[in-house]
């Protein structure tokens, strides 16, 4: 995001450990609806860390096969290489000692162990950045994102644009009938909608 108009927090996370050379790491969460720019923002932060010559490792969960097996790809075609993992346990074993920054996309598709894994990594001095949906298609908090939001030092809420009316959109509208919480794959399954236009019971 370059304009910052849809940020609801003013606190931008520091790019590097603070000027006092703190040993501790921290957790940043980027949360919002689909199409709100979470992946773009995650990729932007990870690129900047790479430019700063920090060692960066990037992960996504196995369930997300939207676009690419080995890249995080945004809806606007920004991409960055990533490693697919089966869960938070595998992720933890793969993070190397000299890694400075850990990026994680689609946090909502991880198991309930993700917040503890992120805490472990941050306690080891790493900057951990997690992007993910904060609500499911019914507007319910999407675990484990609420738990991550509670323990994060820095939170960025991203909003999309409502495709019905053009207002800022905080909801992910499912366009097909299914009661599965996780429904990924084909395009055209979801669109961004504002509070007024959101129909959790099904699209009009």
Runs of H (alpha helix) within 52-181 = 88-94, 114-123, 145-151
Q: Which does 6 bind (CB under 5 to 8 A by kind): Zn ion, ligand ADP, none?
A: none
How many whole angstroms separate alpha carbon 112 and alpha carbon 178? Answer: 23
76 binds, among Zn ion, ligand ADP, none (CB under 5 to 8 A by kind): ligand ADP
- Count CB atoms within 10 A of the CB of residue 23: 7
Cα 50 from Cα 39, distance rounded (Å): 16
Active site members: 106
**75 touches which of Zn ion, ligand ADP, none (CB within 5 to 8 A by kind)?**
ligand ADP
Cα(204)–Cα(202) distance, integer angstroms: 7
- Residue 28, SS3 per DSSP: strand
Among 164, 172, 174, 192, binds Zn ion (CB under 5 A): 164
Site pattern 5..34 for ligand ADP (x: CB under 6 A): ---------------------------x-x
x/- map, 92-131, ligand ADP, by CB under 6 A? ----------------------------------------
CA angle 187, 190, 193 (to 5 degrees): 145
Return residues touching Zn ion (CB under 5 A).
162, 164-165, 167, 194, 197
Footprint on this chain of ligand ADP (rule: CB under 6 A): 32, 34-40, 74-76, 160-161, 163, 192
């Amino acid at each position: 995001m370059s304009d910052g108009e849809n940020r609801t927090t003013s606190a931008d996370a520091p790019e590097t450990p603070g000027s006092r050379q703190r040993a501790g790491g921290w957790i940043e969460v980027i949360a919002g609806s689909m199409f709100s720019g979470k992946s773009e923002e995650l990729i932007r932060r990870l690129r900047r860390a790479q430019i700063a010559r920090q060692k960066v490792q990037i992960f996504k969960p196995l369930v997300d096969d939207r676009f690419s097996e080995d890249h995080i790809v945004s809806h606007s075609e920004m991409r960055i290489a990533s490693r697919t993992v089966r869960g938070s346990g595998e992720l933890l074993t793969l993070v190397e000692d000299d890694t400075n920054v850990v990026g994680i996309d689609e946090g909502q598709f991880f198991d309930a162990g993700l917040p503890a894994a992120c805490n472990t990594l941050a306690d080891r001095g790493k900057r951990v950045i997690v992007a993910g949906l904060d609500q499911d298609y019914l507007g319910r908090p999407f675990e484990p994102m609420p738990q991550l939001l509670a323990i994060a030092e820095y939170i960025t809420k991203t909003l999309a644009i409502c495709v019905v009316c053009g207002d800022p959109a905080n909801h992910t509208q499912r366009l097909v009938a299914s009661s599965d919480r996780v429904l990924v794959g084909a395009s055209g399954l979801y669109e961004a909608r504002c509070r007024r236009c959101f129909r959790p019971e099904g699209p009009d």
